[in-house]
Amino acid sequence: MEIQAGELFEEFQELTASEFFRKNKQMLGFSGKIRSLTIVFHELITNSFDAAEEAGMLPEIKIDLKRLDKDHYILRHTDNGPGIPENFVTKVFCTMFAGSKFRNIQSRGQQGLGCSGCVLLSQMTTGKPAKIISGYKEKGELKGVQMTLKMDVKKNQGLVLDKKVVEVKHTGVCLELHFKDVSYSLSEQGAFEYIRRTMIANPHAKIVFRDPTGHKYIFKRASDVIPPLPKEVLPHPRGVTADDLIFMAKHTDKRRFRSLLTSSLSRMSTKRVNEIQKLTGIDLNKRPKDMKWEEAEQIVDLFAKMDFMAPPTSGLIPIGEAQIEKGIVGILNPEFVSAISRKPVTYRGGVAFIIEAGIAYGGDSGRMVGDQRKAEIMRFANRVPLTFDQGSCAITEGLKSIDWKRYGIRDMESAPITIFVNIVSTQVPYLSTGKQSVAPEPEILHEVRQTAMTVARKLQKYLRAKKAEKEEAMRSKIFEEYVPVILKEAALLAETDVPEYQPVLAKVTRRALAELLGEPIDED
């Protein structure tokens, strides 16, 4: 019997974002037990950092991870941020795609999925509600509210099970979530390593972490400088698509398309707009809403051929050389460290980015494998550690293409070295939704290489000096050993007394040192 279309569509329904992600949690990064927990840490920590920095505070986080049973954990995450006003709490934690970061701005998180995603995972795996205490200031007054929430997945909104006013000592959010099907691990992909790396890229933060065994780790602040807030920058013409233009046209309050172009895109002068009008023959004085898709496509095609100034870089805030070095010293306590922040450049012609790299040698640098330290690569995007999918990442590829032997590192694999690379951009070109690896754009690969080679040269210089120092010690030992016996023998040969040789011994030792350092040698 033939089924009619109407019957088929009886089942037709609309999926809310929450429902969609409930079925596709891997798209939030929740795949695998270890990775799921690391992603939870990532989402909560980045949110806390962003919140504190936006409020002009030095971030301080307390994380308490308790294990109730195999694979069953309770996570308590407390920050010192500005907190969330009562009427926004359910939105933040229970509604997906609700957030403040949909702008063209350099930020850690981007999609407004973080907190609600964690609540979703908790609810999916344990059925337990989320407990939240928010301390915030309202009209100069410190207020506290405690809520127990569940997520109504069908409606993509929060369900308040319990709510009461509580007393708080300071602003900030305390979130308590149950998780099952996750696993705490000390591996490179695990939550602990995530915190450690986070601290390197964020030396202005403080994290106190109590692990499931009850051990308390205190990651102290290595710097008191709050990173300046990145400014929102207008997208560069080369970075927009026809769809972007149509979207802008729909949501603008401008009356003419030409003024939309100049006000929504960077590097777009009136002269350029006139040029576009002339070359495309499109009347740019029409209302934005009248812009047709074909016309938008035509304009975008033209953008690719036109000469624009490179995009503004004021929106990019690098960690900075000094801060990277502080972060590395704080966590790795290395024998040698050097960091560098390159000048901003662009990829795909229109997206500005900065590559920063640091290199650490000795101390706790490198990863312990068995009883030997091996080189490790720490990848970051906008200060956020990238711990998964390292194989295809531009950072890994760029570093692997360097001939490390040229920098005095004979066996890169088994050297006690940590290489830190951070990419800073308003649009980091991630390879997948998990946002764990950077697309190997040629410009990014080039910058990674150049940056890493610069710090490698500094390390090489240090290693050389160290070797020379060792040699120097050996050399003076040779003199101290040989000079007395040779002169005793020479005196025997000359049938005289052994002469006073200390001044000569001092002289040859000094001279050998000068020779070693390539300084001019004082002749007799």
Partner 1 sequence: MKTRKEITINKLKGLGQTIVEDVTQNKVPSLNVPSRGTSNIVYDENKRHYVLGERYGKRSLGNVKQIKKIGQMVYMANFCKQLVEREKTATLRELYYVSEGWDVEFGTQDESNIVGEDLEVTLGMTREDLGLMPEEDGASVYGDLTIKEDDLEINALRSGKSGYTISPTINEVEFVDHDVKRVIAVETMGMFHRMVQESAYKKFDTLIVGLKGQAARATRRFLKRVNDELNLPVYICNDGDPWGFHIAQVIISGSAKLAHVNHDLATPDAKFLGVTASDIINYDLPTDPLKDIDVLRLKELLKDPRYRDEAWKTEIKKMLKIGKKAEQQSFSKYGLEYVVDTYFPEKLEKLE
* Residues near partner 1 (CB under 8 A): 475, 478-479, 481-483, 485-487, 489-496, 499-501, 503-504, 507-508, 511-512, 524
Phi, psi of 474 (to 5 degrees): -65, -40
What minimum distance in Å lies between the beta carbon of 413 and partner 1?
A: 33
Beta carbon nearer to partner 1, 439 or 468: 468
Beta carbon nearer to partner 1, 294 or 480: 480
Helix, strand, coil proportions of the chain in percent (round to 5)?
A: 40, 20, 40
* DSSP per-residue letters across 341-397: EPPPEEETTTEEEEEEEEEEESTT-SEEETTEEE-EEEEEETTEEE-S--TT-HHHH
In what side-by-side order are the strands of the sheet with 172-179? 157-165, 141-152, 130-138, 172-179, 72-79, 60-69, 206-210, 216-219
DSSP conformational letter for 3:
P
What minimum distance in Å lies between the beta carbon of 416 and partner 1?
A: 29
Structure tokens belonging to residue 516: 């070693």
Q: At what angle do helices 442-494 and 502-516 cross, to 10 degrees?
A: 160
Q: Identify whether the C-beta of residue 77 lies closer than 8 Å to the C-beta of residue 63.
A: yes
DSSP conformational letter for 318:
-
What minimum distance in Å lies between the beta carbon of 504 and partner 1?
A: 5
Beta carbon nearer to partner 1, 279 or 490: 490
What minimum distance in Å lies between the beta carbon of 516 and partner 1?
A: 9
What minimum distance in Å lies between the beta carbon of 465 and partner 1?
A: 18
CA 141 to CA 195: how far, in whole Å? 33
CA 167 to CA 190: how far, in whole Å? 35
Beta carbon nearer to partner 1, 62 or 507: 507
Q: Give the residue carrying structure tokens 């694979």.
A: 71
How long is the chain? 524
What minimum distance in Å lies between the beta carbon of 186 and partner 1?
A: 48
Beta carbon nearer to partner 1, 1 or 493: 493
Q: Identify whether the C-beta of residue 347 lies closer than 8 Å to the C-beta of residue 443.
A: yes
Structure tokens belonging to residue 376: 């490790």
What minimum distance in Å lies between the beta carbon of 518 and partner 1?
A: 15
What minimum distance in Å lies between the beta carbon of 508 and partner 1?
A: 4
Beta carbon nearer to partner 1, 224 or 523: 523
Beta carbon nearer to partner 1, 225 or 492: 492
What minimum distance in Å lies between the beta carbon of 524 and partner 1?
A: 5
Beta carbon nearer to partner 1, 105 or 516: 516
Residue 132 bridge partners (DSSP): 147, 175
Beta carbon nearer to partner 1, 292 or 470: 470
**Dihedral in degrees, nearest 10, Cα atoms 36, 39, 40, 41:** 130
What minimum distance in Å lies between the beta carbon of 325 and partner 1?
A: 36
* DSSP per-residue letters across 228-240: PPPPP-PPPGGG-
CA 266 to CA 235: how far, in whole Å? 6
Beta carbon nearer to partner 1, 279 or 514: 514
Q: Identify whether the C-beta of residue 76 lies closer than 8 Å to the C-beta of residue 63.
A: yes
Beta carbon nearer to partner 1, 294 or 469: 469
Structure tokens belonging to residue 361: 């040698």
What minimum distance in Å lies between the beta carbon of 515 and partner 1?
A: 8
